[in-house]
């Protein structure tokens, strides 16, 4: 696990949101198309040439006046973000772009995770599309959504089923990572 700490005094803060909006409309740089890295000044841990992105985070906002009324908000003030439009169909892609970027920065050749579905699909897609590292997924016996398992396999993940549940799979990932840093 990483504990990220920023020196916020060194972060370049834009004077206007239009700075980020211009990136969205230009689309000349793959990082500008990302709904995460378009705001890269606010994520100052990676150099731009280390960024691993596959277009995550540009999902639509859907106005929801009915739910807004239930929670006491005025009409037109509540929007929900539909994360199913991410590359793997999951919000996990928003974090996996940062994890993959970090893996690239440290020169990782293999990435691994324990998963019941979404994380495995997301990690496999980032590894497969970027071609930067191999992917190993640990899953508990019968404890993974088959559609997500299919995605992980489609993108080349080596999938290992172990006896036990998610916690057992996570323990196995940690054990393997300690033996092979």
74 and 133 inside one domain: no
Q: 181: pLDDT confidence band, cut at 50, 70 and 90?
A: confident
Concatenating the DSSP letter of every residue in 148-174 gives HHHHHHHTT-EEEEESS-HHHHHHHHH
pLDDT given at position 99: 96
Number of domains composing the chain: 2
- What pLDDT sits at residue 42? 82
Residues 12 and 64 placed together within one structural domain of the fold: yes
- Asked if residue 112 and residue 55 are part of one domain, the reply reads no
Segment 64-89 mean pLDDT:
96
Sign of CA dihedral 81, 82, 87, 90: positive
95 located within any domain: no
pLDDT(17) > 60: yes
The mean predicted confidence, pLDDT, of the chain is 91
Q: Comparing 4-8, 30-34, 48-52, 172-176, which segment has the lowest mean pLDDT?
A: 4-8
Angstrom distance (rounded) from CA 119 to CA 109: 18
Mean of the pLDDT values across residues 121-129? 97
**74 in the same domain as 111:** no
Q: pLDDT at residue 151 above 70? A: yes
Which domain range does residue 28 map to? 8-85
């Amino acid at each position: 696990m990483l504990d990220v700490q920023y020196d916020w005094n060194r972060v370049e803060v834009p004077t206007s949101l239009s700075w980020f909006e211009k990136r969205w409309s230009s689309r000349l740089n793959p990082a500008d198309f990302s709904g995460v890295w378009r705001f890269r000044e606010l994520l100052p841990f990676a150099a731009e040439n280390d960024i691993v992105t596959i277009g995550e985070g540009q999902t639509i906002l859907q106005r929801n006046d009915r739910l807004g009324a239930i929670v006491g908000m005025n009409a037109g003030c509540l929007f929900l973000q539909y994360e199913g439009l991410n590359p793997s169909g999951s919000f996990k892609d928003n974090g996996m772009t940062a994890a993959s970027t970090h893996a690239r920065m440290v020169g990782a050749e293999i990435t691994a995770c324990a998963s019941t579905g979404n994380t495995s699909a997301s990690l496999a897609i980032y590894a497969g599309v970027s071609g930067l590292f191999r992917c190993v997924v640990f899953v508990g016996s019968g404890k993974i959504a088959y559609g997500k398992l299919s995605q992980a396999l489609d993108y080349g993940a080596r999938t290992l089923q172990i006896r036990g549940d998610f916690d057992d799979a996570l323990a196995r990932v940690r054990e393997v990572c300690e033996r092979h840093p």
